[in-house]
Amino acid sequence: MSATPPLSQVPAVGNNVQIPAEMLDQSKSALTPLLGASLTQLTEWVQQQGQPAYRGRQLHGWIYQKGARSFGDITVFPKQWRETVADVPIGRSTLHYRSEAPDGTVKYLLRMADGQIIETVGIPTSKRLTVCVSSQVGCPMACDFCATGKGGFTRNLKRHEIVDQVLTVQEDFGQRVSNVVFMGMGEPLLNLEAVVEAVQSINQDVGIGVRSLTISTVGIAGRIRQLAEHQLQITFAVSLHASNQALREQLIPSAKRYPLEALLDECREYVQLTGRRVTFEYILLAGLNDLPEHAVELAGHLRGFQTHVNLIPYNPISEVDYQRPSPRRIQDFVDVLQQHHIAVSVRRSRGLEKDAACGQLRASKSLV
């Protein structure tokens, strides 16, 4: 499953060991960062460095609980060893920009080791702290209503770059993160391996319950099945957004290659393979896909499906002139779905004032 070399194979720095090319982080010709590694992997690694096994647990605690950014921070380690491994990267980002919306939502622009910038959002409520993480720098899917899609795709994020986002928000709020949603920049199923590894680390190393982690996808043929095979007990959400194929194609270019029926079939397979329900996300665009007949059509597709529909009233972006429906229209849509016995909720937009809401992430400081 993993393309990342086991840490046990990462050679010590400074002892003249030749480092095989596949162990180099190609973006920076650096060693594999430690962030995202499990307790077992870290323990093996410290032992390989000639250190006692208990230093593995110490290292794990310093990385995941105490926010160590380099070996220099880990003051419990002998000075001489800290100097020997000083070049081994932990894998933390640097804060490029932070802005807080009046509702308490915080948007972060984070700089990766290669200089690329991504957005992460921290969303506090009275009981929870949710982090919306990015899985890619940009996004290739080009959905018409999404700001990220307008900016194109640069690269996939690595495991450590995803885990880092959770730690960054946790440290900034000084509060434990309760939920993580893969709803920032990017299409998680196009970066499945790193996303699965990050999910495992966020669960086991950062310590967030796996059911409190949500992966959201617009749907990539064959990848929903692949995700199901990992048997993660995550919450799984699919961005449906349309009640028929023609409408979906209009909004989502990739729908042409992956028809609605095929997507729904793969979602049924997901339910069978995992025993978990699928949440369908549905953006509401006034006059376009928010009419009662669309709700009836949607309900028809979801008949017999163990599901939940999450309606997302459109958050404005500058490039297109879609409109958010009125509260009355939204309620009408809800009512029709409920009449068809479909569980439904409406997503509250958080961070709108700071361009931090769903679909508004573009790794930019300026308000457009």
Q: Minimum distance from CB of 281 to ligand SAH (Å)?
A: 4
Q: Minimum distance from CB of 96 to ligand SAH (Å)?
A: 21
Residues 92 and 108: their CA atoms lie apart, in Å, by 14
Task: Write the CB contacts of 289 (distance below 8 Å, at least 6 apart in sequence).
Answer: 241, 242, 243, 247, 251, 282, 283
Which has the closest alpha carbon to 188: 151, 239, 152, 145? 239
Provide the CA 48 distance to its chain's centre, in angstroms: 32
Which has the closest alpha carbon to 135: 48, 92, 199, 64? 199
Q: Which residues are catalytic?
A: 119, 358
Toward ligand SAH, which CB reaches closer, 55 or 324? 324
Q: Minimum distance from CB of 29 to ligand SAH (Å)?
A: 30
Q: Minimum distance from CB of 264 to ligand SAH (Å)?
A: 15
Residues near ligand SAH (CB under 6 A) are 143, 145-146, 183, 187, 216-218, 239, 281, 283, 312, 314-315, 317, 358-359
Q: Minimum distance from CB of 186 to ligand SAH (Å)?
A: 6
> What does each C-alpha distance from 168 to 11, 186, 216, 243 come to in angstroms?
28, 19, 21, 38
Q: Minimum distance from CB of 50 to ligand SAH (Å)?
A: 44
Question: Would the CA dihedral through 269, 271, 274, 278 be positive or negative?
Answer: positive
Tell me what percent of the chain is helix, strand and coil, each rounded to the nearest 5.
35, 20, 45
Toward ligand SAH, which CB reaches closer, 206 or 312? 312
Residues 183 and 217: their CA atoms lie apart, in Å, by 8
Q: Minimum distance from CB of 122 to ligand SAH (Å)?
A: 16
Side-chain half-sphere CA neighbours of 259 within 13 A: 4
Toward ligand SAH, which CB reaches closer, 118 or 358? 358
> What does each C-alpha distance from 111 to 34, 94, 131, 362 come to in angstroms?
18, 5, 17, 14
Which has the closest alpha carbon to 240: 295, 322, 191? 295
Between vectors from CA 178 to CA 317 and to CA 270, what angle results, nearest 5°? 75
Residues 293 and 19: their CA atoms lie apart, in Å, by 61
Toward ligand SAH, which CB reaches closer, 88 or 283? 283
Structure tokens at 148: 């990220």
Toward ligand SAH, which CB reaches closer, 23 or 271? 271
Which residue has its beta carbon closest to ligand SAH? Answer: 359
Task: Write the CB contacts of 132 (distance below 8 Å, at least 6 apart in sequence).
Answer: 120, 121, 122, 123, 181, 183, 184
Toward ligand SAH, which CB reaches closer, 113 or 146? 146
Toward ligand SAH, which CB reaches closer, 46 or 312? 312
